[in-house]
Chains A and B, each alone.
Chain A
Amino acid sequence: MIARRDLLRASAALTMAGCAQRARPLREDGRLVVTFWYAYGDLVRKVLLDLVARFNASQSRIVVKAVHQGDYFEALAKLRTALAAGAAPTLSHVVLEVVPYLARAGVLEPLDAYEGARAMPFVAALDQRGSFAGADREPLVCIPFNRSTPIVFANARVLEDERVEIPRTWEELADAARRLTKRAANGETRWGFEVPISWWYWVAMVGQAGGRLVDPGGRMTLGGDAGVEALRFWQRLVREDHVMRPPPGRDYQAWQSSNESFLGGRIAMMWSSTAYVRYLEDNARFPVVAAPLPRHVRASVPTGGTMFVLLRSAPEEEKLAAWEFVRWMCDAEQTIAWSTRTGYLPVTRPAVDRLGQGRWYERHPNDRVAYDQLADAAPWPWSPELFRIDRDIVEPRLEDAVLTGRDARMLLEQARSDAERPA
Chain B
Amino acid sequence: MTPRARWHPWAMLVPTLGLLVAFFLAPIGVAAYESLFSWDLLTPPRFVGTSNYAALAAHGELLHIALRTIAYSTMVVAGTMSLGLALALLVDRPGRFFAFVRTSVFSAYVVSWVAVALLWMWMLDGNGGIFGRALHGSPLGDPRWALPTLAVVGVWKLTGYAMIVFLAGLQSVPRSLHEAAALDGASAWGRLRYVTLPLLAPTAAFVATTSLVTSFQAFDVVRIMTQGGPARATELFVYAVYEQIFLDLSVGRASALTVVFFGLLLALAALQLRVWRARAGVAR
Residues of A within 8 A of B (CB): 73-74, 77-78, 80-81, 83-84, 105-107, 187-189, 245-251, 253, 257, 260-261, 264, 266, 388, 391-392, 396, 399-400, 403-404, 414, 423
Q: Are A250 and B248 in contact (CB under 8 A)?
A: no
Residue B96 at the chain A interface, CB threshold 8 Å: no
Q: Are B231 and A403 in contact (CB under 8 A)?
A: yes
Q: A80-B246, A84-B42 are in contact. List 6 more A-B contacts (CB 8 A).
A: A74-B246, A80-B42, A249-B141, A260-B128, A396-B231, A400-B232
Q: Are B136 and A187 in contact (CB under 8 A)?
A: yes
Q: Are B229 and A399 in contact (CB under 8 A)?
A: yes
For A396, the chain B residues whose CB sits under 8 A away are: 231-232
Interface size on B, residues (CB 8 A): 29
Residues of B within 8 A of A (CB): 38, 40-43, 59, 126-128, 136-138, 140-143, 226-232, 245-250
Q: Are A403 and B143 in contact (CB under 8 A)?
A: yes
Task: Tell me, rounded to whole Å, the shortest Cβ–Cβ distance linking B197 to chain A.
Answer: 42
Summed over the interface, the residue pairs from A and B with CB atoms below 8 Å come to a total of: 80
Contact of B40 among A250, A414, A423 (CB under 8 A): A423
Q: Are A248 and B143 in contact (CB under 8 A)?
A: no
Task: Tell me, rounded to whole Å, the shortest Cβ–Cβ distance linking A308 to chain B.
Answer: 19
For A414, the chain B residues whose CB sits under 8 A away are: 59
For A189, the chain B residues whose CB sits under 8 A away are: 136
Q: Are A404 and B231 in contact (CB under 8 A)?
A: yes
For B42, the chain A residues whose CB sits under 8 A away are: 80, 83-84, 105-107
Q: Are B41 and A257 in contact (CB under 8 A)?
A: no
Task: Tell me, rounded to whole Å, the shortest Cβ–Cβ distance linking A92 to chain B.
Answer: 15
For A83, the chain B residues whose CB sits under 8 A away are: 41-42
For A257, the chain B residues whose CB sits under 8 A away are: 126-127, 141
Given A251-B227, A264-B127, A423-B250, is A246 in contact with B40 using a C-beta cutoff of 8 Å? no
- The chain B residue with its CB closest to the CB of A392 is B248
- Assembled-state Cα–Cα distance A404/B144 (Å): 10
- The chain B residue with its CB closest to the CB of A105 is B42
- Assembled-state Cα–Cα distance A249/B249 (Å): 22
Contact of B141 among A81, A246, A392, A404 (CB under 8 A): A246
Q: Are B136 and A248 in contact (CB under 8 A)?
A: no
For B227, the chain A residues whose CB sits under 8 A away are: 249-251, 253
Q: Are A261 and B127 in contact (CB under 8 A)?
A: yes
For B138, the chain A residues whose CB sits under 8 A away are: 248
Q: Are A248 and B41 in contact (CB under 8 A)?
A: no
Q: Are A399 and B230 in contact (CB under 8 A)?
A: yes
- Assembled-state Cα–Cα distance A266/B133 (Å): 12
- The chain A residue with its CB closest to the CB of B127 is A260
- Assembled-state Cα–Cα distance A249/B137 (Å): 12
Task: Tell me, rounded to whole Å, the shortest Cβ–Cβ distance linking B50 to chain A.
Answer: 15
- Assembled-state Cα–Cα distance A299/B42 (Å): 38
Task: Tell me, rounded to whole Å, the shortest Cβ–Cβ distance linking B240 to chain A.
Answer: 12
- The chain B residue with its CB closest to the CB of A263 is B127
- The chain A residue with its CB closest to the CB of B126 is A248
Task: Tell me, rounded to whole Å, the shortest Cβ–Cβ distance linking A264 to chain B.
Answer: 6
